[in-house]
Structure 1
Amino acid sequence: MLVTTKALVERAMQLDLAYAIQRMGLIAARPGNPFGIAIQDFGQATALAASQLPSPRFNRLVGLTPDEALLLPDILAWFAAQGVSPRIEIRPGSLDAALADALARAGFRQTGFHASLVAQTTATPALDDVIRPVETPAIMDEFLDTYLAGWGFPSAIHEGAKGNMRGWLGLPGWHLYLAQIDGRPAATAILFLDGEVGYLADACVHPAYRGRRLHAALLAHRQNEAVRLGAGLLCGQADFASTSHRNMERSGLRLLHTQSEWLAK
């Protein structure tokens, strides 16, 4: 039985951060770092910036605690130098009055909550959808087309986005899956392994195939894959009370915590 501890909260945070840093590292490795990737540690906190990519996942401050309250001006100056206004994520147990006051003085306010979920791995009944691993460049192209459609990327940036993502294929610890309906690519998901912990990442469904339980099918498939690959713990994130959150709870994950999200006014 999993019991909530600060150590478990920290492990889940570090897993999400490791996944983001690997994604950003692949983009930064492109000639000339054209998307302005930068990563900097400040005490226990890690600042992520991508000046030419508007995604909040790539422009955020992770792991901020009261110990970094006095560093906040330096942290925000670093983000300003990158041309980025960050999202600041704060987990339960990492906020006190002094840090809240420092954030308010810097012009930030809490704007939302995000759910973090966990489960011990266990085999689960598979659903009747065809899910295949992504192991060749040809299947990777189908995966990326479906991924970009599922997340609603504008078609004008598809080729550039694919260039940032093709390096996922074959990356150690990365397991990509493509769900099909009637032989057509319909949904995608990623299982990221860091040691014996798995991260349920980036599941999405093509708009033409929504409402057919593909998200749930990919959750079940990745849970079984995590068991096969020797992971003992699964973590995931979702917008609080969203369809993804509810599907994750139905699949056996439980809410570990909600983190607060702060943006500049």
Structure 2
Amino acid sequence: MAAVTTTREASVDIRRAPDRYATRMSWLDSKHSFSFGHHYAPDNTHHGLLLVNNDDVVAPGTGFDTHPHRDMEIVTWVLDGGLVHQDSTGHSGVIYPGLAQRMSAGTGILHSEKNDSWRLTGEGEHTDPVHFVQMWVVPDTAGIEPGYEQLEIDGELLAGGLVPVASGMERDKDAAAIRIGNRYAALHAARLAPGGSVTLPDAPYLHLFVPRGSVTLEGEGALATGDAARFTATGGNTVTATEPSEILVWEMHATVRG
């Protein structure tokens, strides 16, 4: 897929949590915002540069066994628990809330993701699931060397504003926590107390996801846990929390062409 810039009419498309595709197994409860795996709809394959927005809950002691990726920028955002990452480039560690993490698949990478941090700590088996959102955007250059980056940004999130988490945009080279390989895309996050608010960017494509809590989107009304809004050729709306909430916002200045 290649990134292209386009001109579209302004619109906001609200997607409700119950309407997402679902994959449920004994160890996994996964909700998909876009076509994923055997869940396929030709009119729901992406928004802007975002191809995957999976909302996953993984049972303790289980997870995704080693599997391949290629030519994809993968950002993982943990809400609760710890997710153990291991990949074929030699990186390993536990991803936890407030830690921004990006994996560039490039020419090819193998990795696994498990809820088994008890094996690392030696404190015995726990019974806590891990809840995380995994997001995939296309790179603007195929065949790059695989890479990995992470950074703790919990302190910035405590301030309550919209925090640049991952970006490939030139304007964010000194602001974003981690870099991704697409110069047209940036991910922002915010943790909001009740009554707290942020203003969304104005961009050709935005994707607002509420992984936790409930908010009011200016001009559109209430968004609950798991709801999303897809903006085209618009933005600048205020998002206000009605309870303790967390939001993830992709700002994109291009879309994909298959």
What TM-score results when the alignment is normalised by the length of structure 1? 0.25
Q: Which has the higher strand share?
A: 2
Quick check: which has more Rg, 1 or 2? 1
